[in-house]
Amino acid sequence: MHTSSGRVLVVGGTGRTGRHVVSLLRATGVPLRLLVRDRARAEAELGPGLELVVGDALDLDLGPAFAGVDAVVSTLGSRDVHGGLRTVDLPATTRLVAAARDAGVARFVLCSTIGAVPTPGIPPHMLEWFAPKGEAEAVLRASGVPFTIIRPGGLHEGPTADPRMIDCGHVARALVAALTRDDALGATFELSNARLQRPDADPLLGARV
Ligand SMILES: NC(=O)c1ccc[n+]([C@@H]2O[C@H](COP(=O)([O-])OP(=O)(O)OC[C@H]3O[C@@H](n4cnc5c(N)ncnc54)[C@H](OP(=O)(O)O)[C@@H]3O)[C@@H](O)[C@H]2O)c1
C-alpha cells in the first residue's frame, strides 16, 4: 500500500465488512486510524494497538480524525432501511465527505449499495429504501474529492453462490484495492455474484457502471 502521506482512515471498522477492511490494511503495515463509536467494543472486536478516534460521525468534530489522512474507506451504515439510511447514512457520509475535502484527502472509497439508483431487478419499495445511499454518492461525486464507489449486493459472511449476494470479505478486498488502483479513480462499481459474471466485469471490483 502506498499513498502520499500513507495514513488511511477507516469509518465503520467495527462492522461486518469494515472488520475485513481493517484486517487487510493492518496486514499491509499502512498507518491506520479508525473512527469508532465505542472504544472498548472496538478493542474487544479488533484487538489492541489500533489508533482510534472515538465519536459519532453525525456530531463529532471530524477535523482531528482527518488530520494527516491521505485516504478514507467508509463502510458506515445504520442497517435500518426504514429511516436510518436517511437519518444516519446520508448525513454522516455528508459530514465525512466535507471533512475529507477540508483535509485534502486524495481518495475516498465509499461502500454504497446496489439499488442506490434505479436499477433493473430491484423492486420499487427497495429503491425507495436505498435512495439516501444514492444521495450520499451524489454528495461525494460533487465534492471534488477523488473517489471510488463500490455498490455491493446483499452482504454475506463467507462465500455464497446466491447471484444477488456477495461475500463481505470480497467487498473488503475491493474497497482496499480501490484505494490505490488508478483505473478505479472516479468510478463506480457494482459487486455481486451476478455482476461478477458479466463479461466486462473486473474480477475484484465488479461491474463498472
Ligand atoms: N447489509 C447488507 O446486505 C448491505 C448490502 C449492500 C450494501 N450495504 C452497505 O455496506 C456497508 C457495510 O455494511 P455492513 O453490513 O458491513 O455494516 P455493519 O456491520 O452494519 O457496520 C456498520 C458500521 O458503521 C458504523 N456506524 C454506524 N453509524 C455510525 C455513526 N453515526 N458514526 C460512526 N460509525 C457509525 C458502525 O459502528 P458501530 O459498531 O458503533 O455500530 C459499524 O462499524 C454499509 O454502508 C451498508 O449500508 C449493506
Cα of 84 to ligand 1 centre, how many Å? Answer: 11
Q: What is the pLDDT of residue 6?
A: 85
Q: What is the pLDDT of residue 5?
A: 56
Instruction: Summarize the confidence of residues 50-76 as an average pLDDT.
Output: 98
Cα 204-196-186 angle, rounded to 5 deg:
55
Q: What is the pLDDT of residue 8?
A: 98
Task: Give the pTM.
Answer: 0.97
Q: What is the pLDDT of residues 161-177, one digit of tens each?
A: 999 999 999 999 999 99
Q: What is the pLDDT of residues 96-142, one digit of tens each?
A: 999 999 999 999 999 999 999 999 999 999 999 999 999 999 999 99
Q: What is the pLDDT of residues 178-205, one digit of tens each?
A: 999 999 999 999 999 999 999 999 999 9
Residue nearest to atom 35 of ligand 1 (CA): 76
Q: What is the pLDDT of residue 1?
A: 46
Instruction: Summarize the confidence of residues 130-158 as an average pLDDT.
Output: 98
Instruction: Summarize the confidence of residues 20-42 as an average pLDDT.
Output: 97
Residue nearest to atom 26 of ligand 1 (CA): 76
Domains (range + CATH), the chain: 8-208 (3.40.50.720)
Q: Is 15 in the pocket of ligand 1 (CB under 6 A)?
A: yes
Pocket test for ligand 1, best of 9, 20, 36, 37 (most atoms within 8 A of CB): 37
**Whole-angstrom Cα distance, residue 89 to residue 72?**
16
Q: Per-residue confidence at 3, pLDDT binned at 50, 70, 90? A: very low
Nearest atom in ligand 1 to 165's CA: 3
Nearest atom in ligand 1 to 92's CA: 31
